Amino acid sequence: MSQGRGVHQVSPGRGVLHQVSQGRGVLHQVSQGRSVVHQVSQGRDVLHQVSQGRGVHQVSPGRGVLHQVSQGRGVLHQVSQGGLYYTRCHKVTLLGAWKDIMEANADDTLKEWLTEYYDQLLSTWHAEMKWCRQVYPDPLPIVNDLITETLKSLDPPLHSCVNLYVQHRDTLSGLIELKQITERFARSMEQAVESNMKAQNCSHVASLDHLLLELYAPYRQYITSYQSLEEEKLGKYLESIKLDHEDIFETVQLLSRSVNKLFNFAKEANERCLNLTNGCGYLFMMDALKTYFSNYCKEFRRVLTNIKEKCRTSRRAGEEEDWTHFQHTLRIIQTCGDLIMHMDEFDGNILSSMMQTIAHYTNPSSPVKEIGKLRFFGKVSVLEAHAALFLGNPTDIENLEGLVAKLGEGDMPSVLEDTKRELCKLSEDVHKFSFDIVFGTLRGYLADVSNMEIWTSKSAGGALTSDLPTFSLSPQEYITKVGQFLMTLPQHLEPFTMQDNPSVLVALKHGKLPFTDETELPEHVADLWLESIARGTMHLYCEQILKIQELSSHATKQLITDIDYLCNVLDDLGLFASENLKNIDTLLKAPAEEYLDIAESMPQRLSHAISSMRNIEL
């Protein structure tokens, strides 16, 4: 029975030999029945003409033909039964071949066993198709079912072999190795089947579907838990990225070097998703990536907290200047910009991969450029038919279709929007940290302005004489320190911000500096930093002034001198005094008799506070 049909012989038991013997008898009847089937076909045509009323006298089939029709019906029944016997007998042979391969190659792994066995199944398919054409009117479903039923009945089962294989190696890597072998066989089978398929033949399509579903069955259980597998894999990679060091400078360098590592691992996750799930596991992978990036941001924040504490400690000990710490934070800001830029690129790559692997199944103007187009005949959803090979849960398939629908409608400009927001918030926090380092010094200069004794003294410096000319007044030390600090700020910003650094610009765009408007970025980043610190200084100075309880006549003149000095410094830096500072200056300079009129156009909070400290009744 097996001569010339490419099946490796396996010694069957007596029971199987009995089945084979029966099968031979049936197949012999089938062979004899081929001529009868031909006659039945002729008889059917005659009966059809009779049933159409074309004239009994013109068409007289005779008892001979009717007898053949009767015989043909029995033969057709035997043909059907013969298909079952055929599958049963040959399946035993192929199942034996599976055991033989494992026993003969005991030192090999499942990879080698699968490769050899798939090659044997493919050659068997071609040989059996050639033979079955001589016996069966429609051999394709019969031979496909032979392969399908064989795969279902393997002993040990393929899913058990896969489980054992991945236990001794990295799970995802092992699955991808095996799945690539299976996929090569699946594509060869698709190509072979399609070359023999009749267009729009549902039984042909169904038999191919069943075969492919059985081929990918061992992988579906793993794809269902793909998110947890990928989270575990990415978690191990994340642990290998060192971010912290005892030295602040070294820590800043580690943070910078972590960016490429972080996204290289993420790109590998995308490749794994494509290789294992053919894009059908993207929803699982995106959730795993969100966890991965979120954990990275948490670790980044932990390191940032450590740096803040080290900065405070070294500042108290006088070990390092604030400008050194400021330079460190500017480099961390650059790292934040790198993270955001890499995220934009990676997000675009994920979207592109989705469009190329799964989204085109729903676009009629984009033909499926792969073997298997005939397999999708008659399918309501081509994407569903494709996804069913890899996703065993109908809900997962439905969610995937929803994702692809959003992609097709343009409702998903970003697939990792939440992660990008988290990185932008991180950038904003680092900007605030950097700002606080610089502003900490200014805050110290202005901390006790409201409590200075001079504001209640009756004369300059608390002297007994109060008739000193006003032009002899000089700005006090606290405000000259503020002015000198602001004047040195550009030279500390310039070395870092003058270079063409897109990362700093991106970080600044997504990480708002305190006391700045959300407008377009200036030509030079240093200008925005200067503006932010100057506005913060003016805001804090105004708040300190408004806390002053009482101002003597001389103290009022001194405060005006201090404010005018700060305004001159700001003018030299190309900056403008804030509205509040200008209003306070105006109210301090206003003569008592004109104060009420001037105060009417001022914010009440300011006018009431200044009138109270100057003892002017409103």
How many structural domains does the chain have? 3
> What 3 state SS string does 295-362 have?
HHHHHHHHHHHHHHHHHHHHHHHCCCCHHHHHHHHHHHHHHHHHHHHHHHHHHHHHHHHHHHHCHHHH
pTM for this entry? 0.80
Regions of the chain where pLDDT drops below 50: 1-79, 368-369, 371, 460-466
Question: Looking at the structure, do residues 189 and 269 belong to the same domain, yes or no?
Answer: no
Question: Looking at the structure, do residues 477 and 497 belong to the same domain, yes or no?
Answer: yes
Q: Are 423 and 340 in contact (CB under 8 A)?
A: yes
12 burial type by CB count under 10 A (0-12 exposed, 13-18 middle, 19+ buried): middle
DSSP 496-507: HHSS--HHHHHH
Stretch (H or E) spanning 267: helix 248-277
For residue 373, the model assigns a pLDDT of: 64
In order of 248, 332, 439, 534, the CA distances from 306 in angstroms are 9, 13, 19, 28
Q: Which 3 state secondary structure label does DSSP give 244?
A: coil
Question: Looking at the structure, do residues 197 and 125 belong to the same domain, yes or no?
Answer: yes
Angle at 379 between CA 374 and CA 380, to 5 degrees: 150
- Closest to 489 (Cα-Cα) out of 428, 438, 427: 438
DSSP 71-89: HHHHHHHHHHHHHHHHHHH
For residue 67, the model assigns a pLDDT of: 42
Question: Looking at the structure, do residues 295 and 183 belong to the same domain, yes or no?
Answer: no
Exposure on the CB side of residue 436, measured as CA atoms within 13 A: 10
Residues 6 or more apart in contact with residue 551 via CB below 8 angstroms: 455, 559, 588, 613, 614
Place of tokens 């004239």: 55
In whole angstroms, give the CA distance from residue 82 to residue 434.
83
Pick the last residue of a domain from 224, 253, 276: 224
For residue 197, the model assigns a pLDDT of: 84
In whole angstroms, give the CA distance from residue 181 to residue 183.
5
Q: Is residue 436 part of a domain?
A: no
Q: Is residue 519 part of a domain?
A: yes
Q: Which 3 state secondary structure label does DSSP give 1?
A: coil
Residues 6 or more apart in contact with residue 129 via CB below 8 angstroms: 139, 140, 143, 196
Structure tokens at 488: 């040195």
Angle at 340 between CA 335 and CA 346, to 5 degrees: 120
Q: Is residue 173 part of a domain?
A: yes
Angle at 417 between CA 411 and CA 418, to 5 degrees: 130
Q: Which 3 state secondary structure label does DSSP give 292?
A: helix
Q: Are 155 and 95 in contact (CB under 8 A)?
A: yes
In order of 53, 57, 61, 176, 273, the CA distances from 50 in angstroms are 5, 10, 9, 62, 62
Q: Is residue 618 part of a domain?
A: no
> First vs last Cα of the chain: how many Å apart?
117
* Per-residue b or e along 430-449, where b marks 16 or more CB atoms closer than 10 Å to that residue's CB: bbbbbbebbbebbeebbeeb
List Cβ<8 Å contacts ≥24 apart for 133-138.
134/31, 135/27, 135/30, 135/31, 135/34, 135/82, 136/30, 136/79, 136/82, 136/83, 137/37, 137/79, 138/203
For residue 472, the model assigns a pLDDT of: 66
- Closest to 341 (Cα-Cα) out of 500, 489, 216, 506: 506
Over residues 510-544, the pLDDT tens digits come to: 888 899 876 667 677 788 889 999 999 999 999 99
Q: Are 551 and 511 in contact (CB under 8 A)?
A: no
Question: Looking at the structure, do residues 271 and 153 belong to the same domain, yes or no?
Answer: no
Q: Provide the 8-state DSSP code for 90.
A: H
Question: Looking at the structure, do residues 371 and 469 belong to the same domain, yes or no?
Answer: no
Pick the last residue of a domain from 224, 258, 281: 224
Question: Looking at the structure, do residues 260 and 406 belong to the same domain, yes or no?
Answer: yes
Q: Provide the 8-state DSSP code for 513.
A: P
Q: Is residue 351 part of a domain?
A: yes
For residue 166, the model assigns a pLDDT of: 95
Pick the last residue of a domain from 176, 206, 224: 224
Question: Looking at the structure, do residues 231 and 218 belong to the same domain, yes or no?
Answer: no
Question: Looking at the structure, do residues 116 and 173 belong to the same domain, yes or no?
Answer: yes
Q: State the sign of the Cα–Cα–Cα–Cα dihedral 225, 227, 230, 232.
A: negative
List Cβ<8 Å contacts ≥24 apart for 204-207.
204/140, 204/141, 205/374, 205/375, 205/377, 205/378, 206/141, 207/140, 207/141, 207/144, 207/145, 207/148
In whole angstroms, give the CA distance from residue 275 to residue 380.
26
Question: Looking at the structure, do residues 251 and 359 belong to the same domain, yes or no?
Answer: yes
Q: Provide the 8-state DSSP code for 177.
A: H
Structure tokens at 284: 């699982």
Q: Are 127 and 4 in contact (CB under 8 A)?
A: yes
Which domain range does residue 556 map to?
447-613
Q: Is residue 260 part of a domain?
A: yes
For residue 486, the model assigns a pLDDT of: 94
Structure tokens at 333: 């800001």
Question: Looking at the structure, do residues 217 and 231 belong to the same domain, yes or no?
Answer: no
Question: Looking at the structure, do residues 105 and 209 belong to the same domain, yes or no?
Answer: yes
Q: Is residue 599 part of a domain?
A: yes
- Residue 156, preceding bond cis, omega within 30 degrees? yes
Q: Is residue 385 part of a domain?
A: no
- Closest to 596 (Cα-Cα) out of 606, 611, 586, 585: 611
Q: Which 3 state secondary structure label does DSSP give 464?
A: coil
For residue 28, the model assigns a pLDDT of: 47
